[in-house]
Amino acid sequence: MTTIEYLHASKYGNGVAVADELEHRMAAKGVTVDVHHIRDADPRHLPAADLYLFSAPGRFGRPIRRMRRFLEQLDLPAGTPYSVLTTEMAPRPDRKTGEVPDPVPGQKVLPVMNELLQAKGLRKVMDGTVHVTGLKGPLEDGWQSKVDGYADRLAELTPAA
Ligand SMILES: Cc1cc2nc3c(=O)[nH]c(=O)nc-3n(C[C@H](O)[C@H](O)[C@H](O)COP(=O)(O)O)c2cc1C
């Protein structure tokens, strides 16, 4: 049985909906996903799992502070596989050119998550982002299929127990 420990820092509930969708998609593949808000988890004593998935909302270009603190305190063996799934504001098209900036200037939510995790010696399996269309949500149209696609790839890449 493959187990994923899913640790999120959702404030407005969008990240909870993403976690639920991923949990159900993975359950259909025989993968158990245990979802916890990080306020209910101890970064120094996490349950055993085949992969740890960290999910954070963006704040001022970075992951929300509570997640940064959590990852700084994380105690997992070097080489432990992880993945990241952030919720971020959808980039707005440039007013003059109509083009969507990629990358978005000043937006470092995913890179900071990866930096903090790799500083602990963890091994990245994959990362991704689901967008919200307003500061507190809702999630973008089609977000379920985005999460399902993420889950499908993750199921292929997660080392079996
Ligand atoms: C004060 C504030 C600042 C924010 N700054 C960013 C940001 O810099 N980048 C970003 O992508 N999203 C930003 N957001 C939007 C969050 O990404 C959004 O609230 C979050 O994805 C919603 O997830 P949740 O419902 O799980 O909390 C900000 C939201 C608030 C309230």
Residue 57 has phi, psi (to 5 degrees) of -80, 160
Q: What is the pLDDT of residues 90-132, one digit of tens each?
A: 999 999 999 999 989 999 999 999 999 999 999 999 999 999 9
Q: How far is the CA of 101 from the centre of ligand 1 (A)?
A: 18
18-72 pLDDT per residue, tens: 999 999 999 999 999 999 999 999 999 999 999 999 999 999 999 999 999 999 9
Residue position matching structure tokens 């809702």: 138
CB 52 within 8 A of CB 81: yes
Within 10 A of 105 (CB to CB), how many other CB atoms are there? 8
Q: How far is the CA of 54 from the centre of ligand 1 (A)?
A: 16
47 Cβ contact list (under 8 Å, min separation 6)? 5, 34
d(CA 43, CA 111): 20
> What DSSP letter does each residue of 97-122 carry, written as one string?
T-PPPSSPTT--HHHHHHHHHHHTT-
> Is the CB of residue 137 below 6 angstroms from any atom belonging to ligand 1?
yes
List, in order, residues 6 or more apart from 60 with CB less than 8 Å away.
Answer: none
pTM of this structure: 0.97
C-alpha distances in Å from residue 77, one per residue of 23, 26, 45, 117, 120:
24, 25, 11, 11, 8
- Residue 15, pLDDT > 80, answer yes
> For the chain, how long is the longest CA-to-CA vector?
52
> Which tokens belong to 8?
């999120």
Q: Do strands 58-59 and 62-63 pair parallel, antiparallel, or not at all (unpaired)?
A: antiparallel
Q: Nearest residue CA, atom 30 of ligand 1?
A: 135
Q: Say yes or no: CB of residue 132 within 6 Å of ligand 1.
A: yes
Query: Above 90 in pLDDT, residue 6?
Result: yes
Answer yes or no: is the C-beta of 43 below 6 A from any ligand 1 atom. no
Residue 52: name the closest of 97, 96, 117 by CA: 117
Whether residue 159 is predicted with pLDDT greater than 80 in this model: the reply is no
Structure tokens at 108: 């470092």
